[in-house]
Structure 1
Amino acid sequence: MSVDSIVSIPAAALAGGVLIGLAAALFVIFTGRIAGISGILGGLIKPHRHDIGWRVAFIGGLIAAPIVYALLWSLPSIQVEANSFTIILAGLLVGFGSRYGSGCTSGHGVCGISRLSRRSIIATLVFMAVGFVVAW
């Protein structure tokens, strides 16, 4: 996979990380909920009536953000060098891992570590170790 060099600018990465951290912090402060995507999406599978609106808005924001960005600036070019079977298998494995690990990388890595959750720290170390091994 290749991404334009504009995405790899350290200042842009830092700004993105700060925005993600700020958004996660504000979300937990104002709602008392963790901004882990698998938990938010999972809550729509067996929804509680009072719980649907914010979940749909959150997912809608994730979908709308790149659309709005594309209207204002050009999106970086992304080239995925894998066949459809590999992409589908990878998606299923990520979904299984998120369910099995009681959360996704965003929930554990961003929100769990900031709350000093032992389970999240261990999960993130495992995510990173496996990612390093696979990439190597």
Structure 2
Amino acid sequence: MQEDAAEGGDMSIDWNAFNPWSSLAGGILIGLAAALLILLNGRVAGVSGILGGLLPPKPGDAAWRVLFLLGMVLAPLVYAAFARLPVLHIEAGGGLLVAAGLLVGIGTRYGSGCTSGHGVCGVARLSPRSVVATLAFMLVGFLTVFLLRHAFP
């Protein structure tokens, strides 16, 4: 997506660069990874819980967590060896990004999980708590974007 000044700052899709197949493939890979983790390891692929389990690490429990997180970091590098990574344009300063990250971190602790744990794994397991948490994530996200774009531009 890109910002189009001619439309008064509204978001628009660059249809020449839009590729639903890569999005579908990414979704399938995320779902496959989450399914394999729960089937082979009995663990939910909630990234905040995986990272939080390393602070402090428990004996015999850290290796799979480190490997999972390492895979998340290395995956884009492997992808970049075969294809060009998309160019990201973030319209926020470093301070705002740090504040947003801290708020997300606090929210994951209060919500007992993050978007990956609740939104991918919990909803797939038809967990009522995860459905409510995912709806809350989405509604707050929509409201935040609306307010920042329209009420406080």
TM-score scaled by structure 2? Answer: 0.82
For 1:115, the equivalent position in structure 2 comes to: 125
State the 1:6 CA deviation.
7.5
For 2:24, the equivalent position in structure 1 comes to: 14
For 1:65, the equivalent position in structure 2 comes to: 75
Tell me if the contact between 1:4 and 1:76 (Cα under 8 Å) persists in the aligned partners.
no
* Counterpart Cα distance in 1 of 2:100 and 2:88: 17
For structure 1, the residue ranges without an aligned partner over 5 or more in a row are none
The structure showing larger relative contact order (alpha-carbon pairs under 8 Å, at least 6 residues apart) is 1
* Counterpart Cα distance in 2 of 1:23 and 1:7: 27
Worse-superposed segment, 106-115 or 77-86: 77-86
- Root-mean-square deviation (CA, aligned residues, Å) is 1.8
Identity of aligned residues (%): 56
Tell me if the contact between 1:7 and 1:13 (Cα under 8 Å) persists in the aligned partners.
no
Task: Please state whether the residue corresponding to 2:60 is helix, strand or coil.
Answer: helix
Q: Does 1:23 align with 2:2?
A: no
Worse-superposed segment, 12-21 or 107-116: 12-21
* Counterpart Cα distance in 2 of 1:24 and 1:84: 31
Task: Please state whether the residue corresponding to 1:81 is helix, strand or coil.
Answer: coil
Task: Please state whether the residue corresponding to 2:112 is helix, strand or coil.
Answer: coil
Matched ranges for 1:1-136 at <5 A: 2=2, 8-136=18-146
Task: Please state whether the residue corresponding to 2:72 is helix, strand or coil.
Answer: helix
Pair 1:5–1:26, CA change in 2 (3 A): farther
TM-score scaled by structure 1? Answer: 0.92
Worse-superposed segment, 56-65 or 5-14: 5-14
* Counterpart Cα distance in 2 of 1:95 and 1:44: 15
* Counterpart Cα distance in 2 of 1:6 and 1:69: 21
* Counterpart Cα distance in 2 of 1:38 and 1:10: 28
Q: Per residue, is there more helix in 1 or in 2?
A: 1
Deviations, residues 64-109 of structure 1 (Å, cap 9, x unaligned): 1111112222111111111111111011101111111110000000
For structure 2, the residue ranges without an aligned partner over 5 or more in a row are 3-12, 147-153
Aligned length: 136
- The ranges of structure 1 where at least 4 consecutive aligned residues each deviate by more than 2 angstroms after the TM superposition are 1-8
